[in-house]
Amino acid sequence: MKDVYTLADLDDPEVLNPAGAKPARLAVIGHPVAHSQSPQLHQPALDALGIEARYIRLDLAPGELTPAFAKMRALGFVGTNVTVPHKFEALEACSRLDPAAEAIGAVNTILFGEEEEILGFNTDGPGFVRAIREDFSVDVRDLKIMIIGAGGGAGQALATQCAREGCEQLVLVNRSLDKLEALCEKLAPLFNSDRLDGPGERLSALALDSPQLAEVAGHCDLLVQTTSLGLKATDSAPIPKSCLQPHHLVYDTIYEPARTRFLGLAEANGARIANGLSLLLHQGALSFEYWFPGTQPLEKMRR
């Protein structure tokens, strides 16, 4: 069996489902996708629950998603996870969207329904809420939160979820402020309340090079890093060490390596830290529950 499959492999039964192997019925789609640890979460859960299915990695180039969905449905796939760069293309391919996916504007979980229906979900946001509760024993709605890299797909998803949860305050940080304009416009109505002084106070945007960054960060409870900085050992931290304080909860969505430079600096400054493995776990369990309602895969996935 291959570590990574392609669109062409979906047309070759002997390659996709060799003799003696469980049939491929679930996948994670990305480009690249060889690094994904999703099979290590989902396959043990499938096996433990006695489900005759295999979870595979499927590398698709941009534009290959729609034909792949047609082939997967014909092959009897239950559904698939979708990661970068396909989350927005997957949104367009769906015939029906879960409210979370619609609000976030991206899909990471597909369920192939009856009569050609393609159902789209996003478990990143809800999974993040569960991860923060598990790692820090607090609820997102009770926190003042800074999202670093809020202009990217992951940052937008988590920022949208924090706003939907009604967090105390949300600070969006990005290298380029113009990437945050549409997101701010979308989220502003969610902060129209009398808890503080309206959107201008509870929702704000800052550039990474803003001289106010350290001061604003100091007033936040939770700092969330959503950029790709930290995947390589030579990467710098996304924000200066001066922004990190002992009262902070610091979360990096990267899980490999387990301790990025950013998390190392935060811990050295006395902050409590956690990495993105808990997010991977919880969003994965939520996806599994959409595919197989009534199952409880979380602890099997955790092991």
Where does the pLDDT of residue 196 fall: very low under 50, low under 70, confident under 90, or very high at 90 and above?
very low
Sign of CA dihedral 6, 11, 12, 13: positive
Identify the pLDDT of residue 111.
Answer: 98
pLDDT at 199 over 80: no
Residue ranges of the chain assigned to CATH 3.40.50.10860: 8-122
**Is pTM beyond 0.75 here?**
yes
Examine residue 85 and say whether the peptide bond preceding it is cis (omega within 30 degrees of 0): yes
Query: What is the pairing mode between strands 24-30 and 54-59?
Result: parallel
58-117: pLDDT as tens digits: 999 999 999 999 999 999 999 999 988 888 889 999 999 999 899 888 899 999 999 899
Where does the pLDDT of residue 194 fall: very low under 50, low under 70, confident under 90, or very high at 90 and above?
very low
Identify the pLDDT of residue 106.
Answer: 85
Task: Give the CATH H-level superfamily of domain 8-122.
Answer: Leucine Dehydrogenase, chain A, domain 1 (3.40.50.10860)
**Average pLDDT score over the chain:** 93
Identify the pLDDT of residue 198.
Answer: 42
Residue ranges of the chain assigned to CATH 3.40.50.720: 125-276
Identify the pLDDT of residue 195.
Answer: 41
Given the residues 87, 144, 241, 300, select the one marked as catalytic.
87
Q: How many CA atoms lie within 13 A of 70 on its CB side?
A: 5
Identify the pLDDT of residue 190.
Answer: 92
Give yes or no: 87 in active site.
yes
Identify the pLDDT of residue 197.
Answer: 43
Q: Which residues of 35-72 are buried (b: 16+ CB within 10 A; e: fewer)?
A: ebebbebbbbbbeeeebebbbbbbbbeeebbeebbeeb
Rounded to whole angstroms, the Cα distance separating 109 from 284 reads: 9
Task: Give the CATH H-level superfamily of domain 125-276.
Answer: NAD(P)-binding Rossmann-like Domain (3.40.50.720)
